[in-house]
Amino acid sequence: MIVLGIDPGTAALGYGIVERRGGRLLMIDTGVLSTPSSDALPDRLLAIHRFVAELIELHRPDLVAVERLFFSRNAQTAFAVGQARGVVLLAGAAAHLPVREATPNEIKTAVSGYGAADKEQVGRMVAVCLGLNAAPRPDDAADALAVAIWAANSERDLNGNGHGSGEGDGNGAGRSGLLDLSSIAPARGESAYERAVREALAKEKPGASHRAGGGKAHSGR
Angle at 205 between CA 83 and CA 67, to 5 degrees: 25
Residue 103: what are its φ and ψ, rounded to 5°?
A: -75, 160
Interatomic CA distance for residues 210 and 204, integer angstroms: 9
Contact 6, 133 (CB under 8 A): no
Which residues have CB under 8 Å from 121's CB, separation 6+? 112, 114
- Which residue numbers are catalytic? 7, 67, 140
Contacts of 74 (CB under 8 A, 6+ apart): 209, 210, 211, 212
Residue (of 96, 101, 8) closest to 51 by Cα position: 8
